[in-house]
Structure 1
């Protein structure tokens, strides 16, 4: 299929004088004119003379023709000049039998090539050309593929040539598919369409997005590039050929791949369970979270919400990322969260009383711990120690107190694990105070003291030259019996409980009464005097 061939011809004006010979201008160019005249009886020849109308007495050219010629050409004309053409009928003696004249202009210069020819609609051309001085009208000639010629007279440029036979424009393409592509690191939308196999010719396809992206193709696909994540594109496709563009296709909306989720954060909700959260991303169908543990273990989680719960163990470092998905594909790589869980709670915690006011706590080193904080607290005080080794001694503890002891593992990244189990341990009972001894008889003392121990048994010990005597009680006093007479004793009290042995009280010293003399004898010395004697113990 071809454009009609279009030409522009120039029209010229002529005016014939009223003479016996009728003269007319058949055609004229910028350098010649073809004249016609009527035959004159008896003429042996015809002479044609051309002179400018402004100087009719100064011919610029002439031509002679035989007696049977009634049409001839005269040359040597100049473009766009008004001439007076004279045709004289001559006899054999070259005398003038009759004469006729006509005024006519030579044609303007040769037209420049057409500037533009555009299709205004299916039945109209807009033709643009250069105007020539002195020209009153122009002839535009069109020729279709069937070689049909049509001429239109116009007077200015551009000119509309109407009522043409419609030229079949290409059909409206139908968008068939979208897909995301990556070329040289840039993302693009590949748009394809269905071509009408029943239409022949050379077609150019134009793809347009409302995001100011375009691409052209002569095949059935092209790529709109570059595009970013989370963009909404309204896309149309049109076709053009020599007849002009088709109407655009109906709009089709395409959403690019989603943007990567941001603001990743982790919450250790319960022991062994962590929840990864992130900000909501627009135009997303689903998310996949990827969790990789420091020892190489991996797991993933698919969800349509913005959080994911996974198994996490204490004392491990995790690398986590989240990808978003929609029909266009997956999001680019986004934030990678490096998260270290809390250190594991120590196992094998053992608490022993190394003295009445000191605990020694030992445990098995735990994973992820860089420092241990050991805390012992009762109702009135808190005792702390910090160490990197799995052992700690807590001193200056209060007697007869129940302490809650917690070993807390810590590290610089995740802080301290405050969820470790507490262990209860009591200190030994307090030392009895204000010891008092009361002699009941020569062989018995009553011992009393003050003490505020919760659950304690007391042992009273009296040590002397004749050995040791004891008594036991859970109260604040008891009697020591069967003491030998005339002996010195050191008396102290010590408390015991399930937590251990307390400190002994300060000692008190005492003695029993003297012993009664033995082997007593009385000898009568005189009537008025006796001699009494006995044995010493």
Structure 2
């Protein structure tokens, strides 16, 4: 019994250590060369002295007979046939002597290959592939699809994992013998299935497209061998419109198409068996529509060009404009220009649109009359001083003329006429440049000759006499073109003063205030001499300086200024000049009043006398200070239930502030230099009057009142939590005395809760509350604007939760 167990242990160890590809015993090794569905080919090592070998295959996990075979002494490979598909066998090889005694042995395990699969259907949908659908078999890890041509010049196979699958890289319209075999996980292959003959479908036809007009597309197919019918599917790009065409012809025309539109055509061929082949798609655009309604105009860029304009469209990539004289231009936008345009011509223009398909039909020719030639010669004359005339010869193709007269200071005149002459005003002291242009519907002629004409200097028209000081008059005027010298003459009742200078300014000093002079400026030219027809001006010297007698303030923003003066008839201006603003008042007497002065400002008060001649020196300055300004913005923020923070904007002229909150229930007051103040003793739920008293550095005071302030509603007291059925907490509190809205916030370790009672209510319920938690509870009033009070006390509840009676 011990020996039997030992032998079994040795066999078990040998069986466990041997793979499908080989078993190495002490002296004899066994391996599987290959397997099929019903056979195993075994290979073994030679044993010295053996006269034969016996190979036995026994099913391991199923009941069944063993199969054996004998081989000669020189044989090291043999086949066992008639086995069961997809079955695990124990294969034993025994080396025997002549008496059939076992000299040595070895064994291994191996599966036979799966059963032979069966092809259900094999079809070709593409010209380079065949799809095979087959029945799967037990034990197969993968399958091998095989395809072979009838003449056996081509063979291919492909490993697949399931059914169906496809054999690719085949030739179009070629018959193949297709089979399938199963492979187990160890690589064992079944015999191929019964072959099925399948022919691949036709390849996609090769075809060309073209468009010879804006509504047709020509289809030309290269003849395809074995094709009996061609099918075309035509789809308008970016639409769902399509048409179908079946034909045996290799040339077809699509009609009634849209101009400049892209059509994509899909073509495929049918074989004699009624099978459609591969598809090919070609997109073709039709030619553009015939251009309509283009515009012609002339543009200038150093020379005249004909600008052709049309409405841009997506159907055309380029337009070409051609004139009857052979000139042309092209553009991919909506305009192009033809340069070297000659004046006085008449010609015709056509427009052609094109795209990838070719050109459209040319438009109807449009007649165009070119711009007229410029008038030449041109004559300029001055029949009388100040009036000039321009004349010229008539120009063919001109409808009217424009005469442009430009003065050397930039002032322009224009004269429009259908005649051949034009009159314009020519003033003295200027140089004029005169040009004449002819016009028709095409536009303006090229620039013609320009004439220059210069008149004599004019009398200064803007002579100004101003007071420099109480004893000096300054006379100024604008320069007159062409004048090289100015003579200034001033005459009063007793003397004549003359000033000659090349500059347009003259100063007359050592004069008396409040005196009258006649002053004239005479321009002189080297060519024409002096113009002594200029008219003199009568001008007075400045009035004498007034003296301020008193500045009295009538109210917070008004002041009355009084003064004395030795002048006769004069206008007086009292000016109050501050750092940021200035006020003034006028009077012909000895006083005037200024109102609406800026608060918090300091002004310098002065008085100036004026006459038609100018202004006097200002009087000596008298200082003035107005009351300080009230702060523009004031804000009252409640910090706690009994304390507020009042803040306001800075006020001009303010030194200190006295802020007051007043109500029938008490008041608060603070005096500070700051723009804020913290005030206590505030009663909740109370309306206060707000005022600020602003004091300046000199003690001037402004009383300022603001919109009233209402303190927040008092925080409720007596807050209690009551336990209710169904995990509900009810929060109670005592009302503060006024009808208010409240909101309740409860925060706990298990969650946060919020509730609000109806207006005037003093409790609300919280549902789905976790028992046994610690809660922080706050009940706050809701203000009229919807905000809540932020300073009501928070209460912590851990075990003090009351039961409802």
TM-score norm. by structure 1 comes to 0.41
Between the two structures, name the one with larger relative contact order (CA 8 Å, sep ≥ 6). 1
Structure of larger gyration radius = 1
